[in-house]
Structure 1
Amino acid sequence: MSGTERHCVQESAAPRRRGRPRQITRERIVAAARSLAFDELTMQAVADVLGVDPKALNYHVGDREALRELVAVDAFAVELNRIDLSACGDWRDVLRRYATALRDATVTLGELVTYFRLPASGVGALEPVERVLQSLVDAGFSVPEAGHVLRLVSELGHAAGREAVFRSGSREHPYVADVSAALNTTAADDFPLLRRVVAVRDTAPDDGQQLDFNLDVLITGLAAKLSHAS
């Protein structure tokens, strides 16, 4: 047998090395989950996209509920990171734009909105927060006051987004439906003003009017507080 033949035999006899298993990370899990519709978002479906056993996801994601929460946080942070608050010099403009961005980011969650809670995590969500705080401190608010304002504005924006999601799935907001049901148990001439308010809320789209009103009241009060302190 020639040297070349012996070399070929040795090569063919050598066992093949198995490829390294694909590394699973939270980033890869989220990327795979993005390709799935909400009603398809399960551990098995994500594992199928990644080509791994569902048990391989357990280290990063405990169950389907945790998976959906992870995807909701990621979607929110990505959307919120799109805004640029650096061009807003006045703290009032910063608050308005931030609240509006929170509402819009919440709306993009759609059915995932029930799996998301403030505060949002992730660097993408923290950078706008820092900009809001800086604008408030620069305007003369103390750090604790800036923190309180941030929390209030965040809650207003997030609540407006959740309400928009609820209304998109049903013409009647669930809160309005509850009040209407309670009013139906009373005499027709009872609570006339509340009936008029419910009628308006039930038939007219919000179009951001409630959030604008909330921000007007908040900013007016904050400006008066700042003026009084100076």
Structure 2
Amino acid sequence: MEATGREETEASGARRPGKRAGLDVDQIIAAARTLPLEKLSMQSLADTLNVDRKALHYHVKGRQSLFELLAHDAFSKQISQSRVSEAEGWREACRIYAHDLAESAAALAELVDYLWFNDVTNDLTLQPVESLFQQLDMAGFTDEEAIRLVTALATLCLGHARDLAQAHKEATRTRKQLLKSALGAVESHDFPNLERIASLDIDTYSAEQLDFSIELILEGAEKILARHRT
């Protein structure tokens, strides 16, 4: 009895081509996580899965989209544990959500550069966002104001996470170091304010900086909300 094409492929150990390789996204993610990030490529992933490289293209178009897939998967699992629903009031809900978002993004390390959202109200894990919008609605924000507030918080926190990753990768190119270098490159001493700022020991990558920025946004949101009360 002659072996079928599938049986011949399995018997020979040949790589399976295309969509029929039976791959799904979870398998791709699991296999990708077994490889060091610096060695992860479409070819190394295909080798790990013992499939033809073209089989991966049904799910991921290339290395960029593969890294984006890994970043979104890890971020979603982390942020899904957010306890925004337990918050008492809209301010606490915003603080919890912002900190959870920043911590979830920062945990990605270098993968944070591949974490992008087309729409923060749709691309993020749904339950925490639903709870946050419920709190904002109960507080009296209009839908437009709530959308803009959530977008501002998300933009801030993702930016903070990227700052941390960049500072970790290039410790000699922090804001303070770059400012000192710029001042040192000019002969003029007509920048007394910048020179004073450069001499201060203020960590703008710290949790204190994140808290300060969140409170600035919430203070502004409070003023917007107050308009509805007058």
TM-score, structure 2 normalization: 0.83
Percent of aligned positions with the same letter in both sequences?
Answer: 31
Q: Are the aligned partners of 1:77 and 1:121 in contact in 2 as well (CA < 8 Å)?
A: no
Report 1:147-158 matches (<5 A). 147-158=147-158
Match of 2:165 in 1: 165
Deviations 1:169-220 (A, max 9, x none): 233444444433322233463222222323436x747321111111112212
* SS of residue in 2 equivalent to 1:130: helix
Match of 2:99 in 1: 100
Inter-partner Cα distance in structure 2 for 1:204 and 1:194: 16
Match of 2:109 in 1: 110
Match of 2:29 in 1: 30
Give the drift of 1:227.
Answer: 2.2
Aligned pair 1:138/2:106, yes or no? Answer: no
Inter-partner Cα distance in structure 1 for 2:224 and 2:123: 32
TM-score, structure 1 normalization: 0.83
Give the drift of 1:27.
Answer: 2.1
Report 1:45-194 matches (<5 A). 45-118=44-117, 119=119, 125-187=125-187, 189-194=189-194
Q: Which amino acid aligns with 1:157?
A: C
Q: Aligned pairs, how many?
A: 217
With over 3 angstroms needed to count, the CA separation of the structure-2 counterparts of 1:195 and 1:125, relative to structure 1, is farther
Give the drift of 1:66.
Answer: 1.4
Inter-partner Cα distance in structure 2 for 1:134 and 1:178: 42
Q: Which amino acid aligns with 1:71?
A: L
With over 3 angstroms needed to count, the CA separation of the structure-2 counterparts of 1:209 and 1:71, relative to structure 1, is same
Inter-partner Cα distance in structure 1 for 2:209 and 2:125: 24
Unaligned runs of 5+ in 2: 11-15
Q: Are the aligned partners of 2:163 and 2:205 in contact in 1 as well (CA < 8 Å)?
A: no
Q: Are the aligned partners of 1:32 and 1:50 in contact in 2 as well (CA < 8 Å)?
A: yes
Q: Are the aligned partners of 1:81 and 1:124 in contact in 2 as well (CA < 8 Å)?
A: no
Larger radius of gyration: 1
Inter-partner Cα distance in structure 2 for 1:196 and 1:80: 39
Deviations 1:6-50 (A, max 9, x none): xxxxxxx57477269641112221121122221021112221222
Inter-partner Cα distance in structure 2 for 1:76 and 1:110: 11
With over 3 angstroms needed to count, the CA separation of the structure-2 counterparts of 1:120 and 1:24, relative to structure 1, is farther
* SS of residue in 2 equivalent to 1:103: helix
